[in-house]
Amino acid sequence: SIIGVVDGEPLATGGDGVVKYQSAHIDGVESELVVPYEHSMQAQPEVVAEVQRILHRQLKEHPCSTDTATPAPNRPGH
Handedness of CA 59, 36, 34, 1 (dihedral sign): negative
CB atoms within 10 A of CB 23: 10
pLDDT digits (tens, 9 = 90+) for 5-25: 998 899 999 999 999 999 999
CA distance 67 to 52: 23
pLDDT digits (tens, 9 = 90+) for 34-77: 999 999 999 999 999 999 999 999 999 988 766 555 555 665 55
